[in-house]
Structure 1
């Protein structure tokens, strides 16, 4: 920009000088020279200022020397100063498509994990990140990207294929989030969340997972059937014990006098229809005459 402004300023001055010396006959040359010089002057003045946009941090460098960071706002600078800006807004690292992470389970099966890592730059560490990476794009490519892929592989390697594919998805996501945060935080990179969007097993692993799920379901059904059978057997045992106890209690309570009294009462009721009724309720087989009319 500085060179362009100097060139325009020189061109404008040249046109004005040539017109006054009548080297150039057209008056339009004077106006053109003035406008060109004014544009060059304005461009030259703009090289002495720089505006850092909101949610950005600027890092100035002058002839290879790195200065202190600039916050958002207008700043005066040397025309020889270059400014590299870093956005502090959250950014998404999408590990999908060609960047899908190929991982292996603890059993050696292959899975493909799609995830998104939400990260942002800590403004207080912008200068260190500039010295380490050079730009915001380089921060993602040199730090966030490789570290995230490495951690994802390490976490899945501690889980089985079934756990990574279905049963432990939430726990794995939380573990990945925790480890990436711990890895990047000392470098001034804030992790705002990890979203494990999809985990797809390879064809061979999918077949093994389906077989394992079917075996688990069959085992669960068999265990449920055993529990049901044990419960029914226990119920039958309790019923039989209750019946036996009741029969024993009845047998112990039925004396000869009680049996004779109940027998007489029964035949007395029958004698209501037949005034004289002989019943075998007597002792030693002696019949007892129940007269329904005389009571």
Structure 2
């Protein structure tokens, strides 16, 4: 910009001098010289000012020397000063498509994880990030991108394939969020959230997961059948013990006299219909004659 402004100024001055010396008599040449001089002057003046946009932080460098950070607004500078700006708005790092993270479970199975890391730059650490990375895009490529992928792999490596694929996805996402935040915060990078959008197993792992699920279902059915059999056996045991106990009580209560008494009472009732009734209720099997006509 400075070089262009100097060239325009030089052109305007040259045309003005030639016009003054009557070397150039064309009126259009004079107007062109005036315009180029004005434009060159404005461009030259613009090299002494820089506007930092809202939600940006500027880092000036002059001949290799790094200055302090500039907040949003108008700043005066040397024409030899370059300004690198960093946006403080949240940015998304999408690890999907060609950037999908290939991870391995604790069992060695391969899964593919798609996630989005929402991050932003802490304005207070802009100068340190400039010295470390050089630009906002370099911050993402050199810091956020590799650290996020490393942490995702490490977290999935502590879980089985089934946990990573289904049962523990929320817990894994929360753990990844926490670890990325802890890793990037000291560098001045704020993590606003991690969204684990999709986890899909490889074909081989999917087959292994299906087989494991089938085995678990078969094991659960077998265990249920064993528990049912044990319950039924316990029930039969309790029933038999109850029957045996009842029989013992009955056997202990049935003495000869009680049996004789009950037998006589029974045949007295029968003699109501049959006046004389013989029954082997006597001792040693001798019959007892019950005469229903006599009381």
Give the alignment's Cα RMSD to 1 decimal: 3.2
Number of residues of Structure 1 aligned to a counterpart in Structure 2: 291
Contact 1:267 1:277 in 2 (8 A): no
Partners of 2:267 and 2:13 in 1: how far apart? Answer: 143
Gaps of 5+ in 2: none
Q: 2:22 matched to 1:22?
A: yes
* TM-score, normalization by structure 2: 0.82
- The within-5 A match list for 1:4-153 is 4-153=4-153
What residue in structure 2 maps to residue 192 of structure 1?
A: 192
Q: 2:132 matched to 1:163?
A: no
Residues 289 and 43 (structure 1), Cα distance of their counterparts in 2 relative to 1, 3 Å cut: farther
Residues 80 and 259 (structure 1), Cα distance of their counterparts in 2 relative to 1, 3 Å cut: farther
* TM-score, normalization by structure 1: 0.82
Q: What does the per-residue CA deviation read over 1:65-89, in whole Å, with 9 as the maximum and x for residues that have no partner?
A: 0011111222121111111111112
Partners of 1:195 and 1:53 in 2: how far apart? Answer: 30
Residues 13 and 253 (structure 1), Cα distance of their counterparts in 2 relative to 1, 3 Å cut: farther
Farther off after superposition, 146-155 or 244-253: 244-253
Q: What does the per-residue CA deviation read over 1:134-193, in whole Å, with 9 as the maximum and x for residues that have no partner?
A: 001111111111222222222222333333333332232223222222222221112222
Farther off after superposition, 217-226 or 146-155: 146-155
Residues 28 and 263 (structure 1), Cα distance of their counterparts in 2 relative to 1, 3 Å cut: farther
Partners of 1:72 and 1:259 in 2: how far apart? Answer: 118
Contact 1:260 1:282 in 2 (8 A): no
Contact 1:282 1:288 in 2 (8 A): no
- The within-5 A match list for 1:237-248 is 237-246=237-246
Farther off after superposition, 47-56 or 191-200: 191-200
Partners of 1:105 and 1:172 in 2: how far apart? Answer: 12
Q: What does the per-residue CA deviation read over 1:75-120, in whole Å, with 9 as the maximum and x for residues that have no partner?
A: 1211111111111122222222222222223333322222222222
Partners of 1:120 and 1:259 in 2: how far apart? Answer: 103
Partners of 2:252 and 2:104 in 1: how far apart? Answer: 74
Partners of 2:108 and 2:158 in 1: how far apart? Answer: 10
Contact 1:260 1:281 in 2 (8 A): no
Residues 288 and 19 (structure 1), Cα distance of their counterparts in 2 relative to 1, 3 Å cut: farther
What residue in structure 2 maps to residue 215 of structure 1?
A: 215
Gaps of 5+ in 1: none
